[in-house]
């Protein structure tokens, strides 16, 4: 016997899935990125316990380079996608937009199909938000 359970990186490339499965992958990636960002953020902002000078010094170093502007933009994008998709998940996991159980009749229409309008809403709103953030961040990129 050999094991075909190989973690979800292999899962992601091992088949063709519905739209929400790929939203799940993006949700997981942005979630891990945000979790890694949070301790860094806390360390940087905690510099002010050493007084205003050290705060200013670290802000000089971190906040005014184009690289950190790009990083901040990535953060905004990650937060937007994660938050919007998270709201979709809260609604569906509380039983909204997924319909009621009914006798299956071919061609099957399941709960995923019924809530797909939410998925498209999340994607359109994310796209709008990303375009807006590019416009809002452009003065800092080309500073």
Token reading at 63: 């906040």
Token reading at 142: 């080309």
Closest contact distance (angstroms) between CB of 41 and other proteins is 25
The nearer residue to other proteins, 24 or 55, going by C-beta atoms, is 24
Closest contact distance (angstroms) between CB of 76 and other proteins is 23
- Residues of this chain that bind other proteins (CB under 8 A): 1-8, 10-12, 14-18, 20-21, 24, 27, 89, 92-95, 98-106, 108, 110-112
The nearer residue to other proteins, 119 or 126, going by C-beta atoms, is 119
Cβ–Cβ under 8 Å, residues 80 and 130 = yes
Cβ–Cβ under 8 Å, residues 34 and 79 = yes
Closest contact distance (angstroms) between CB of 78 and other proteins is 17
CA 66, chain centre distance (Å): 22
């Amino acid at each position: 016997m050999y094991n075909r359970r190989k973690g979800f990186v292999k899962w992601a490339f091992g088949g063709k899935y519905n739209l929400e499965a790929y939203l799940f992958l993006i949700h997981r990636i942005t979630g891990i990125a945000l979790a890694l960002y949070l301790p860094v953020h806390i360390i940087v902002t905690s510099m002010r316990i050493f007084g205003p000078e050290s705060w200013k010094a670290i802000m000089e170093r971190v906040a005014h380079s184009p690289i950190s502007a790009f990083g901040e933009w990535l953060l905004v994008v990650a937060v937007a996608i994660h938050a919007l998709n998270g709201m979709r998940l809260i609604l569906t996991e509380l039983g909204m937009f997924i319909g009621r159980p009914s006798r299956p009749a071919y061609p099957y229409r399941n709960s995923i199909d019924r809530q797909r309008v939410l998925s498209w809403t999340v994607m359109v709103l994310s796209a709008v938000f990303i375009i807006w953030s590019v416009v809002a961040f452009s003065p800092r990129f080309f500073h």
